[in-house]
Amino acid sequence: MNFATKLNAAIASNQSILCLGLEPNPEVMPANYLAKYVSDESASPIDSLWEWMQFIIHSTSDLVCAYKPTLGFYTALGAPGLELLSKTLAAIPSHIPIILDAKHADLNSSTVMARTAFEQWQVDAITISPYMGQDIAARFLMYTDKAIFIQCHSSNTTAKAIQEYPDRTAPLYLEVVKTCQAWGSSEQLGLEVGAATPEALARIRAAAPERLILGRSLWANVDDLPKDTDTDNSEAQSLETLQQILDAGLDANGEGLLIPVNQDVLTTVEPANLVRSLRDRVNQARLHVTSQRPACPVWLPDVCLLSQQPHLDLILQFYDIGCIMFGEYVQASGAVFPYYIDLRKIISNPQVFEKVIHAYAEILENLHFDRIAGIPYGSLPTATGLALRLNYPMIFPRKEVKAHGARRLIEGNFHAGETIVVVDDILISGKSVMEGAEKLKVSGLRVEDIVVFIDHEHGVQQRLSDNGYRSHAVLKISEITETLYQAGRLNEVQFQTIAKSETG
């Protein structure tokens, strides 16, 4: 079972989006545990901390959806601390996911860290620092049933100088959010967000509509400990603030946010009551927030594409790595389009490349052919990826025929009469792909199906059909622009400009 499935099951069974930190901090150990080892000079705090951790797990395992042991507290206790970690991990019921809060930041040790965390300690997810770039994430993402959370924002006030650099309009932390989404799928890569006010949380949610957010330090302005002295007013006030936090952090489906339990709660004598109360208040506020939201986050004629679009993640990543550019672009035909698609960039981004291949493969799997042909140069990597994935031989028609050497029109081996599926990146007029297909045909091959990633629409599929080809596209350009608009990547003016050019 992968991390996302395990987490969703725990959320459903415990009706909770609370994530509880397991921090054996001797400085805040409750008096009853502290007393045990203070009274005996030879005693180690480890035994008391272990009793405390056990008690917390035992009291809350039906109230939270994840536990988050903070590695630093265990390593700070030396070798006995690592033993305490092993025992603590083993005490967590196996159906509750464990997110190891490691904030791992060292590239050189990341392979061994991933192995220890995922294979030896068997945690389900880990927090890592983004500043070593994609390389550090990749080591952990190789474990496809596990997840990582990228540390994106801290609630610590002195962190502002760095994370809000150079200014609040385009702060560094949003660049982190934008960049790291291209490293892994939304099932495998979430964001850790510490935020004392809902503002940063809301901006991160807008920039990452489909990512799981691991919230932390969200309680600075919320009184999450219901007290006997609570007046109706302060209760209402804290519920309102809680609603603001949820409104900022929940995704369009009212999900995608893990709420931390304030560590103060865990130092009390009866944490279960307070955790239950917090869980219920979060659920109440969550219900209120989701009931206030329109079923469809942005109104469009009659469908909510954001929730239905099966390639949502791919479209957003595709955009974020610069494969779709909006502006005025002159096409080979001389026509000016409001966008340009550059599929060639995917080769530099294995995560997106893999998804693109997967999407093409879903189409090719339903077609009959003997070999795959890519149209040079843009579609050669895609055709290669498909040939390897589907285990079919590949060929390609040369763009220009050399005046020396073998003077081949087609590279690769083939037999006349074989059926070729042609793969290209985008159909605008259909000219490039049909020229390629003709070269295959004059070499004695049959071409019936053409598969592209993007269909520019405007009747190009009909043109191909008129010339005897069936064409298949992963996405239509209108699906891409509508999804980007709904996800906030395209503004109203850009969206309308493109829509007008599509109807014009």
Ligand X SMILES: O=c1ccn([C@@H]2O[C@H](COP(=O)(O)O)[C@@H](O)[C@H]2O)c(=O)[nH]1
Chain residues that interact with ligand X, rule: CB under 6 A: 331-332, 340-341, 375, 378, 424-432
Q: How far apart are CA 199 and CA 195, in angstroms?
A: 8
Cis peptide before 377 (omega within 30 of 0): yes
CB of residue 432 to ligand X, shortest distance in Å: 3
Q: How far apart are CA 92 and CA 363, in angstroms?
A: 43
Question: Please, which residue, 427 or 440, has the CB nearer to ligand X?
Answer: 427
The DSSP H or E segment spanning 446 is: strand 446-455
CB of residue 446 to ligand X, shortest distance in Å: 21
CB of residue 461 to ligand X, shortest distance in Å: 11
Burial track 127-153 (b if 16+ CB lie within 10 A, e otherwise): bbbbebebebbbbbbebeebbbbbbbb
CB of residue 401 to ligand X, shortest distance in Å: 19
Tell me if residue 103 is catalytic.
yes
Question: Please, which residue, 268 or 331, has the CB nearer to ligand X?
Answer: 331
Is 239 assigned to a binding site?
no
Question: Please, which residue, 98 or 423, has the CB nearer to ligand X?
Answer: 423
Question: Please, which residue, 408 or 431, has the CB nearer to ligand X?
Answer: 431
CB 352 within 8 A of CB 474: no
Question: Please, which residue, 38 or 335, has the CB nearer to ligand X?
Answer: 335
The DSSP H or E segment spanning 38 is: helix 31-38
CB of residue 429 to ligand X, shortest distance in Å: 3
- The single residue of 103, 160, 345, 476 carrying the catalytic annotation is 103
Look at the chain and count its residues.
Answer: 504
Count of H-run helices and E-run strands, the chain: 20, 16
If one counts every other C-beta atom within 10 angstroms of the C-beta of residue 338, the result is: 17
**Residue with structure tokens 């962190």?**
159
Cα 57 to the center of its chain, rounded Å: 29
CB of residue 240 to ligand X, shortest distance in Å: 48
Q: How far apart are CA 420 and CA 368, in angstroms?
A: 9
Q: How far apart are CA 219 and CA 432, in angstroms?
A: 58
Is 321 assigned to a binding site?
no
CB 203 within 8 A of CB 176: no
Is 441 assigned to a binding site?
no
Is 379 assigned to a binding site?
no
CB of residue 438 to ligand X, shortest distance in Å: 13
Is 343 assigned to a binding site?
no
Is 276 assigned to a binding site?
no
* Residues in Cβ contact with 389 at an 8 Å cutoff, skipping those fewer than 6 apart: 357, 361
* Residues in Cβ contact with 393 at an 8 Å cutoff, skipping those fewer than 6 apart: 370, 371, 372, 387, 412, 413, 414
CA angle 288, 312, 291 (to 5 degrees): 10
> What residue numbers does the annotated binding site cover?
398-399, 402, 404, 424-432
Annotated binding site for 5-phospho-alpha-D-ribose 1-diphosphate: 398-399, 402, 404, 424-432
Residues acting as catalytic residues: 103
